[in-house]
Homo-oligomer: A and B are copies of this chain.
């Protein structure tokens, strides 16, 4: 029995999903949908075709779960509910503040269609959220703390690219070692924004704007650096390092999409709360989109199984028993992993 998967959107996330499906023997890629001209999109799975996104509703009988790999910020707020009215769907919607309204809209659409829609299934929200929940449920008298990185922040990189005379840029969010050390020792105090993370930027100046005069170049660099460091919310509350490098070096050394982070929870137990317990969960990811895609694949399995069990509506990782996401029976799980 295989679960037939449709991929909506074939960017980094969609590609990662195609690879993830290849690693799961019970998942099968049925079709890829794109808003581009399908002829211009080539995929690696043999005998599977690329279709235009507009044609997806013709595939209701051919797809068990449609996984949405479009933009979380711009597409999912409208798309997930729309597709949940015809398909079991999974998305990695990641705007934390807007999850409640997204959940509501998707829940109504999915319930009306007897479909199962898993939303916000990535690593944060997602795996990090699960670790926060388990830790807080077990040790309610405690504090949680999340760090992100070392990894590329797409939003911050984009913000730098919008500065005049900047050709390209990458921004790494980096947890501060002192803060990690402090938290590992059980102290969560005085950890403000500046104390937790460092921002490191690699910037390529638009060469056509450069004159030969070294002094002018220095002035331009100072100007850009100042603009970055004073950018409200994005950088002004952080310690920020700026490096100017060549376009060649940016491509060579900073083209990957690594990411990761840490979830800590420190709680106390005992008659007088004298015993302390520290829970740490961490991810070190070579490829943020491929890891996220792997989570989407596992939760597509869950969406399919839940729907077969008669469960419909919007679900998050909190609502789904772990056994639903893995390709093993209960007996296998109890005798091998438990």
Contacts and interface: CB of A to CB of B under 8 A. Distances in A.
A280 B262 CA distance: 9
A83 interface: no
A51 interface: no
Interface string A57-87: 0000000000000000000000000000000
A134 B130 contact: yes
Contacts of A129: 337-338
Contact of A334 (B100, B131, B274): B100
Given A323-B318, A330-B318, A136 B19 contact: no
A159 interface: no
A277 B295 CA distance: 12
A278 B269 contact: no
A284 interface: yes
Contacts of A96: 338
A90 interface: no
Given A137-B298, A140-B24, A100 B321 contact: no
A284 B325 CA distance: 28
A230 interface: no
B100 A331 contact: yes
A291 B269 contact: yes
Nearest to A22: B271
A164 interface: no
A323 B319 contact: yes
A334 B97 CA distance: 9
Nearest to A18: B271
Given A271-B44, A331-B100, A133 B295 contact: no
A320 interface: yes
Interface in A283-337: 283-287, 290-291, 293-295, 298, 316-323, 325-327, 330-331, 333-335, 337
Contacts of A125: 338
Nearest to A294: B138
A132 interface: yes
A284 B277 contact: yes
A36 interface: no
Contacts of A326: 133, 136-137
Given A23-B141, A100-B331, A318-B334, 15 more contacts: A19-B269, A19-B271, A23-B140, A23-B269, A129-B338, A131-B281, A134-B322, A136-B326, A277-B286, A277-B291, A278-B284, A279-B283, A280-B284, A316-B334, A319-B330
25 contacts: A16-B270, A23-B140, A99-B334, A99-B338, A103-B334, A120-B338, A127-B134, A130-B322, A133-B333, A134-B322, A138-B294, A139-B291, A269-B290, A269-B291, A269-B294, A275-B285, A275-B290, A277-B283, A278-B284, A279-B281, A280-B283, A281-B282, A316-B338, A318-B333, A321-B321
